[in-house]
Structure 1
């Protein structure tokens, strides 16, 4: 029995592990790291890196602030998705938007620091984020002191969990702070709003239009192959195994490409699963995202080396695929384009 491993858009074949056994445990997916707002967990290394490396919020080839204001009029007052009102007096030049780097790249903007986990940023974006210091979120959000050292003039939090436990109150004292409920689940809204906040509305519209054209083309190519079929993503990290529903790669499959979800996650973003429920996996295609930065290898082996794994119809049919966790667990136009490329290569080559 074989699986097909997708890595950076390339497929390679290899033997599926032969024996298995574990329960699938789940947790809320946010930012591919803990969303616990442990902002008191200060780190001297990130603080020093942030203080010593403060890149411009604009690449050298970008238009001037004066040109940008033709799109957005400042002062600009908006209300975020949690009901907080904020006012930007001028075009933001120093933006801190952890785990929204994907969208900033599409808009042609470099942040003052980038999200990282265990010292690793989002690998698929690093060619566009050269020189941007890493800020580790492994133990929670950075402290207000660390964020203050970045000297941001706009802070954007990509989901509501990031604003909990007093984080919003602390951060909003440093700079105007906008909070999304879940930016990765509504690209049209989040990319458009980012474009409005930073005077990049035209770039936002162009990026979204190109993305939607790709989605429509992919839907047409996949339709003959996926009629009546279901798909499921299983994510592995140091905490266990998770069935992914409608976020990140799951959002692309279900909401963008129109591929039906497994009944197990029909109404869930993630799901804790016991060993007894494994036979209930009803997906025709299963994608395995091993979160290597978060030590998912142990749980991956426990699952794929179990005999029970062989009883799942998708496994018996050879429809199990290892995919690149670096963007299947990412959120944004760049990540979602990569996911679409993988799905097309696997299902409609």
Structure 2
């Protein structure tokens, strides 16, 4: 029998083995590739999740909860952009913020601020009362600030708070340091508030030092004349606050415990003051001012005889902010200690 040649079988086995190794290698590479793609896909999917978490944190930090001076707990924007704060425009300007609308009496805003608020719409406070909610709503404020609790009365707060978070001061004009500090906090302008108050404090102390030789131990009264009559402004508001609280001048006993007091010829002898400051409210009090100052009773008072009666500008003597207070201080120093 002829012997068979099995060499081709050996060659076949050897080739098959090489093919098998090749196939296994390809499989392993494919598996590794798939695993890498899976890991990459997972990594790519995680990025949006991290972004979403970050966005969620920002959303939470975009608001915060504060309590106003009437104990309303409100959620306000961390950085309010459209603020309606009637009669606090002075302090807002100091902090570098323009309001979305400004307080006005008739067609006029606070005249001493109009060079900086010329382009800001005016909102009329008819009879000193806050405007209707729909008027305020038209300006789309994201924060409303009321400088006195009086503005929040008669359901105004409830209506305004439906428009935007509404913060109420009891009397922002009664403690300017506190109200400017709080306003800076509400508007995210704490550093600006701190610097403005430092500058004002320096100005006030310099004025007190200059006034001391002529005004120490003396009293001052502020009388406002308008079309209806005349009244003395106490030491809790406007120029009266500057005279008594900021510059240290004493108050007449007639307004020691009152915000105001009607003035008539009968009470003139009871006005215990060394200096009298008078205001002609928007020019409406001219007749009443003349009637009083032309009277013999007035002319015989110690302050009138000494020439210590001074007419001042009502536009900022009835203001309540650092700009107004600074102007009032300038007037007092110029008039009493030139």
The Cα offsets for residues 77-102 of structure 1, whole Å up to 9 and x where unpaired, read as 11111111111134111110110000
Q: Which residue does the alignment assign to 1:161?
A: 150
The Cα offsets for residues 204-235 of structure 1, whole Å up to 9 and x where unpaired, read as 10101100111111111111111221100001
Distance 2:300 2:112 in 1: 35
Task: Please say if 1:86 is aligned against 2:69.
Answer: no
8 Å Cα contact 2:230-2:264 kept in structure 1: no
8 Å Cα contact 2:265-2:292 kept in structure 1: no
Superposition deviation, residue 296 in structure 1: 2.3
Distance 2:308 2:160 in 1: 46
| Counterpart pick for 1:304 among 275, 293, 307 | 293
Q: Which runs of 5+ in 1 are unaligned?
A: 1-72
| Counterpart pick for 1:286 among 269, 272, 276 | 276
Q: Which residue does the alignment assign to 2:106?
A: 118
8 Å Cα contact 2:265-2:297 kept in structure 1: no
The SS at the match of 2:272 is: coil
Alignment of 1:54-73 (within 5 A): none
Q: Which residue does the alignment assign to 2:192?
A: 203
Alignment of 1:141-220 (within 5 A): 141-220=130-209
The Cα offsets for residues 233-285 of structure 1, whole Å up to 9 and x where unpaired, read as 00112332111111110111110111111121122221124432111111110
Superposition deviation, residue 309 in structure 1: 1.4
Return the index of the structure with the highest Cα Rg.
2
Superposition deviation, residue 198 in structure 1: 0.9
Runs of 4+ in 1 over 3 A off after TM superposition: none
The SS at the match of 1:229 is: coil
The Cα offsets for residues 135-190 of structure 1, whole Å up to 9 and x where unpaired, read as 11133211001011110001011111111111111101100001111111111111
Distance 1:296 1:165 in 2: 31
CA spacing shift, 1:257–1:323, aligned 2, 3 Å: same
Q: Output the TM-score relative to the length of structure 1.
A: 0.77
Alignment of 1:305-344 (within 5 A): 305-344=294-333
| Counterpart pick for 1:263 among 248, 253, 261 | 253
Alignment of 1:244-259 (within 5 A): 244-246=233-235, 247-259=237-249
| Counterpart pick for 2:88 among 68, 88, 100 | 100
Distance 1:82 1:180 in 2: 7
Structure having greater relative contact order (Cα 8 Å, sep ≥ 6)? 1
CA spacing shift, 1:272–1:193, aligned 2, 3 Å: same
Deviates more, 1:254-263 or 1:267-276: 267-276
The SS at the match of 2:117 is: coil
Q: Output the TM-score relative to the length of structure 2.
A: 0.79
Superposition deviation, residue 336 in structure 1: 0.2
Q: Which residue does the alignment assign to 1:17?
A: none
The SS at the match of 1:260 is: coil
Distance 1:186 1:242 in 2: 22
The Cα offsets for residues 293-340 of structure 1, whole Å up to 9 and x where unpaired, read as 6x2223222222222211211011110000000111110000000000
Distance 2:276 2:292 in 1: 13
Distance 1:288 1:333 in 2: 21
The SS at the match of 2:162 is: coil
Q: Which runs of 5+ in 2 are unaligned?
A: 1-60
Root mean square deviation, CA, Å? 1.3
Q: Which residue does the alignment assign to 1:132?
A: 120
8 Å Cα contact 1:281-1:312 kept in structure 2: no
Superposition deviation, residue 74 in structure 1: 4.2
